[in-house]
Amino acid sequence: MADNNDIMLMAHLMRRAGFGASYEELEQRAAKGYEATVEELLHPEDQPDLQMDVMNRYMHGWRDLNGLMANQGYWTYRMVNSPRQLEEKVCLFWHGIFCVGDSKCMRARQILLELNNFRSHGMGKFDNLLMFLSTDPAMLYYLDNQLSHKEAVNENWGRELLELFSMGVGMDGEANYTEDDVKACAQAFTGWTIANAIPRYPYGSYANRFLYNKFDHIEEDKTFLGETGNWNGDDVVRIICKQPATARFVARHLYNFFVADEPQVPAWQHTPPRDPELIKALEDEYFNSGYEIRSMLRVLFNSDSFKNARFAKVKNPSEVVCGTLRIVGDFETPKPRFYDPALQIRYMGQDLLNPPTVEGWHTGKEWIDSGTLVERVNFAAGEMGRLDSPGIQDIVSRLSSRGNVISADDLLDGCLELLGGYELMQDTRDLFLSQAVKVSELNTSSEDFADQVSQLLQLIVATQEYQFA
Amino acid sequence: MTTQVQGVTYRYTHTIGRGEEAGPGFKNPVSVARGEDNILYVVNRAYDYRADSKRITVCTVDEEYVGEIGNGGRLGGDLMDTGENASDGSLVWPTDIALDSEENLYITDEWLNRVAIFSKDGDWLGSWGVAGNGEGQFNQPSGIHFDADENVVLVDTGNNRVQKYTKDGQYISSFGSFGTGDGQLNMPWGIDIDREGNIYIADWRNDRIQKFDSDGNFLMKVGTTGNGEGEFKRPTSVAVDKDGIIYVADWDNDRVQVLDSNGLFISFITGDATLSKWGITKLDANPDMKLQREIAQGLERERFLRGPIGVEIDDDDRLFIVDSQRNRIQIYRKIPPYFVGMYDGARL
């Protein structure tokens, strides 16, 4: 039988490998065991996917998902409701690295198809993932590779592939590649282009497709990362994936997203990893597994570093919104304002399918400013005030079942526990008990008990502690 | 020597519509009704975050724009009126349309749980409906049709039943319950009534069409889950022509199926769309778009149906397919397999 420590550890795992969980789900998963849950999360293909027919019936824009807003609503729904929680989390992870933005592409459905690749292959081999990316019409368009010709090479894709998508500019104080490597990379990808698209008017968008134009490819020897040959794009991917820098880059990104906030990516050349031991273990697994992300994640989630890193990360906006909604448990049935939570994610600074630049979103404390913090607090507190929601009712019911009378201390601890094991600073605790609860004991059967619980939950989610995962 | 009649065929005639948030065009159209003088009333469900696009587009079969009826909000999504006391003329989740003998428009609204009524000139005539699961109440009304007595027969999706009302909303009767057995329903949607008064229901989540007599007695079921002949994937709409031929919008299979009066498979229609008049106007006004289209690869995909959601056939044997995800209606003419002789005194 799982004890409270097991449940709280599970809460930590689900905040990171998913978007949080209700207390009931935490109990069930803890009873199954930590390692078994990790394996289940690592194999989403063994879980049923969401049935979308009813949603598509009522959310008519979701059937083809052509527009940005429809896609953001759809993805929010998936993050909250998918039983394949890690699949959605990994999709968000890669979306934040392999950035493609609707502001340039103006074709959200094409970005959706890229995200679907992240869902299907995001935990597979990194070389396969880079090949998907290299032939992805949204990415090639976003980074101008359709404008790269053998007579006039555009280096945008080639440069970002190295700098932002695979190796990073440097590590341990050294540069990972040279300007000549960028040029060779870009030359190897000449001819990797896309078909001419059907315009979105008058009848809507159609999926575009990758084309390889051998007549526009530079057929000559190129020296790339010390290897010389008549390289094409797939050769470049192969050479990139065997670099130690690539192992480091992937490991640090995984650590930054799943374990604890690291400095921003541009600082990685001169800033050593926060946890060199775990990074080394991840690098080793990268090579031992043949570049498999799933294997790296297994090492990561089962490490002591991960288990001890509770609340070491600032939640990204998707985690704030979807994590709150998963606790409240009332985002399953379609209704007209179903897109509101997706807008909240946008207002908090994470415009899904539309990152600010190819560099993606800066993470950690950079998620927070005076405006986005207010959005976070208002949203979460608003949701905790919904006494008619099944999640809040469950929390009230569980607290009521602890006896006819509950002390203020126990009530506060109970709320913190049922939200997933949050811990407040002593000053905050004292303030809540003296100013909010005011009495030393509460009658759990009183008419206003549910209101008191709800108000306490609203205060908790308004704290800085709730901003951490 | 005799020649076996091989069955009817369907000739594509033209496409009307284009994607448009207002004016000449449609936005996620869900159903169509034909009025007098070749007038069409097209219900646009649109997206909830562009509530101003929710409307009834009035146009002709030949794609002459007449006007708009109803609205989904005053200034867009943030002001969308989703309350129980929605303002006059507002549409939140409009789903199906039927015309009475005076060509007034009766429109089901799945969110507001009401039947909204407009005159053909767009005047608001009122609404009726009470949310619930009791007698005379409904939960997410979808398909709607008038019977020969000009009573309203509507599909009560959330309660898995079909209900009959007078045209001013007085409850008459109902039939159906949740389940997979004969006469039972699972989130039913579309409806049509044939000349004998029999009622056809698109039994959406059971992937079949059911036929009932006018009293709601079960007569026939057609279809199972799948993508083969006589199989459906979430059929949304059903229509029956004057010869008893059945048309089904096979929504998630992106096709319309044509069945004979016994439910036997005749043919698939997967789409033949060409540029509509409004589409040509749009391209003429946007030369860059026109050029891009001329050099686009894979343009042949444009002819196919995508999420066909409504079917309607008029007494002139014109079949209207609401091609929802493509914001257009594809129109076909039924070609009878036998001599009709309408031309010049029925000469050879």
A239, A229 contact by CB (below 8 A): no
Q: What is the pLDDT along chain B (348 residues), one digit of tens a residue?
A: 444 555 789 999 999 999 999 999 999 999 999 999 999 999 999 988 888 899 999 999 999 999 999 988 653 444 455 665 678 888 999 999 999 999 999 999 999 999 999 999 999 999 999 999 999 999 999 999 999 999 999 999 999 999 999 999 999 999 999 999 999 999 999 999 999 999 999 999 999 999 999 999 999 999 999 999 999 999 999 999 999 999 999 999 999 999 999 999 999 999 999 999 999 999 999 999 999 999 999 999 999 999 999 999 999 999 999 999 999 999 999 998 776 666 666 566
Alpha-carbon distance A214 to nearest alpha carbon in chain B (angstroms)? 18
Between CA A123 and CA A292 the distance in angstroms is 7
pLDDT classification of A275: cutoffs 50, 70, 90: very high
pTM (whole model) above 0.90? yes
Task: Please report the number of interchain residue pairs, chain A to chain B, with beta-carbon separation below 8 angstroms.
Answer: 103
Q: What's the CA dihedral at A310, A311, A317, A319 to 10 degrees?
A: 30
Kindly determine whether residue A206 and residue B80, on different chains, have CB atoms separated by under 8 Å: no
Confirm if B27 and A203 have CB atoms less than 8 A apart. no
Q: Using alpha carbons only, how large is chain A's radius of gyration in Å?
A: 24
* A72: closest chain B residue by CA: B49
Q: Which residue has the higher pLDDT, B90 or A212?
A: A212
Over the stretch A405-416, which tens digit does the pLDDT of each residue have?
Answer: 999 999 999 999
Largest distance between two CA atoms of chain A:
82
| d(CA A222, nearest CA chain B) in Å | 32
Q: Does B212 touch chain A (CB under 8 A)?
A: no
Specify the pLDDT at position B14: 98
- Closest partner residue to B279 (CB to CB) among A57, A200, A202 is A202
Q: Answer whether B49 sits within 8 Å of A69, measured CB to CB.
A: yes
pLDDT tens per residue across span A160-207 = 999 999 999 999 999 999 999 999 999 999 999 999 999 999 999 899
Pairing of the two strands B328-335 and B318-323: antiparallel
Bridge partners, residue B310, by sequence: B322
Report the distance separating Cα A14 and Cα A222, nearest Å.
46
- Give the tens place of pLDDT for each residue, A45-90: 999 999 999 999 999 999 999 999 999 999 999 999 999 999 999 9
pLDDT at B78: 47
Bridge partners (DSSP) listed for residue B56: B43, B69
Residue B279 tokens, joined: 């589409």
Question: What pLDDT is attached to residue B348?
Answer: 62
As a whole number of Å, the end-to-end CA separation of chain A is: 26
* Chain A, nearest residue to B48 by Cα: A336
Give the angle subtended at the CA of A108 by the CAs of A147 and A157, to the nearest 5°.
30
Inter-chain CB proximity A53 and B93 less than 8 Å:
no
pLDDT at B347: 61
pLDDT score for B83: 61
* pLDDT exceeds cutoff 70 at A421: yes
What residues form DSSP beta bridges with A125? A292
pLDDT tens by residue, A213-236 = 999 999 999 999 999 999 999 999
B-chain CB neighbours of A53 within 8 Å are: 205, 234, 252
First to last CA, chain B: 20
Which has the higher per-residue pLDDT, A119 or A339? A119
Interface contact B85, partner A, CB < 8 A: no
B337 CA: distance to closest CA in chain A (Å):
33
Question: Environment class of residue A365 by beta-carbon count within 10 Å: exposed (0-12), middle (13-18) or buried (19+)?
Answer: exposed
Chain A interface test: which of B20, B49, B160, B325 (most A C-beta within 10 Å)? B49
ipTM for the predicted complex: 0.93
Are B286 and A201 in contact by the 8 Å Cβ rule? The answer is yes
pLDDT tier, A435 (very low <50, low <70, confident <90, very high otherwise): confident
Q: What is the pLDDT of residues A328-384, one digit of tens each?
A: 999 999 988 889 999 999 999 999 999 999 999 999 999 999 999 999 999 999 999
Q: How far is A204 from chain B (nearest CA, A)?
A: 6
Tell me which residue in B286, B292, B325 faces A64 most closely, judged by beta carbons. Answer: B325
Residues of chain A with pLDDT > 90: what percent? 96
Chain A hits for B92, Cβ within 8 Å: 336
How close B289 gets to chain A, by Cα (Å)? 6
| DSSP assignments along A146-169, one per residue | GG-BTTB---HHHHHHHHTTTS-S
Per-residue tokens: A227: 């290897």
Contacts 24+ apart (CB under 8 A), A363-370: A363/A96, A363/A256, A363/A257, A363/A261, A363/A264, A363/A314, A363/A316, A364/A261, A364/A262, A364/A264, A364/A313, A364/A314, A365/A261, A365/A314, A366/A264, A367/A314, A367/A315, A367/A316, A367/A317, A368/A314, A368/A467
pLDDT confidence tier of residue A439, bands split at 50, 70 and 90 = confident
State the pLDDT at residue B49.
83
* CB-based contact B333:B13 (threshold 8 Å): yes
The CA-CA-CA angle for residues B307, B313, B318, to 5°, reads 100
**Which token pair is B71?**
């609205």
- What integer is the mean pLDDT of A110-135? 98
B53 Rama class: left (phi>0) / alpha (psi -120 to 50) / beta: alpha
Residue B34 in tokens: 């034909």
Strand-pair partners of B321: B311, B330
Asked if A448 and A35 touch (Cβ cutoff 8 Å), the reply is: no
